[in-house]
Structure 1
């Protein structure tokens, strides 16, 4: 069950499978719920770390808050709303962490007031903390910052393989069938531990293994090499915004 969750949850078929697991968890299947929480732990940590602007691990209160928020997101998630679980849960986690920051700020403000701080200044600070417009603005700015961070991280990852966004725009398959075939090859690599380990260690495709696995010529694989590598890296990443933006465009 756990492996079925963590493998490339990206294309339409996989989304359907994930949604079915979410429905099981919502109906009270504790084992499925636990597997989902474990499988998405890296994603939960990344979201909490970025919102907090520092590294967050399992020992931090913020991680517990984010984990509870992810649980809440599973319970509230509705696949018919045309939103992915990662996007929806990302928003819920961020809201709950912001609520936590607001409560901490309010508590600290009350402490300062008891210590004889200027009442007007404390009141102004509290009004700022509870100003909904400020929270909305903060959330929007954070989303924009997270998108930029993901793009920078992905670009850095591509550079490790001698690739760039400019090269990808030129080398991406132009025809739908070719793009679908290349995507399927990338998915096979991403979901096959030995293939993926070879790619990461050698910075090149496991050509011999692929030739014996897929019904595509070596020439075709080599022609779309850059695209296949780029998609493979993306499939096994936690780049929430990039995946959401290009979903439906790759295939």
Structure 2
């Protein structure tokens, strides 16, 4: 079975077979789970090395973190909602590794989080009650939403995009939309990829193909939508983001 899994990793037409193995692992087949972990070990190391910006091998704690993340991804993976196991697992492993790196940085530096006396006094004086939460009128909120949409529109224009065009190219199927969102998340959360987009006004196609199980044709088909979502995720568009919360991992 291990050989079939390894072959499946490099065969985009065998996603169904991988999904069946994932289902077995999720339902308690520990042997299948172990075989998945072994088969995807090179992928885990590659992801960990990419996130940590250095070579990672079996003896590194970061490899263990990546393996835990992959195990979590297998348990949470839903073929009908997520782009592919590798794409989904990449996001989960990256989150876990970044959390670990941040915690280690704090622990090693023995950083103590304190609040200045002045800030503490101000915090004590400021009380959030019902009246303060609803202090903004609906008119003010509507104005802020309009300003946010206008700003987002100007940003899209820098990339040759418009709201009208996005409405036309938005993925019609839920699975396609989920794939596009996951690719956008990977780009938004990877400085190297996001900087490439900022500098070249194009997606980092080659780099994406190396780490996700999505064809160049699919990425290109949803290119405009992916760029628009990436820009949305990495900017402070509070109101607009409320509409896409359910799409994010």
TM-score by length of 1: 0.50
TM-score by length of 2: 0.50
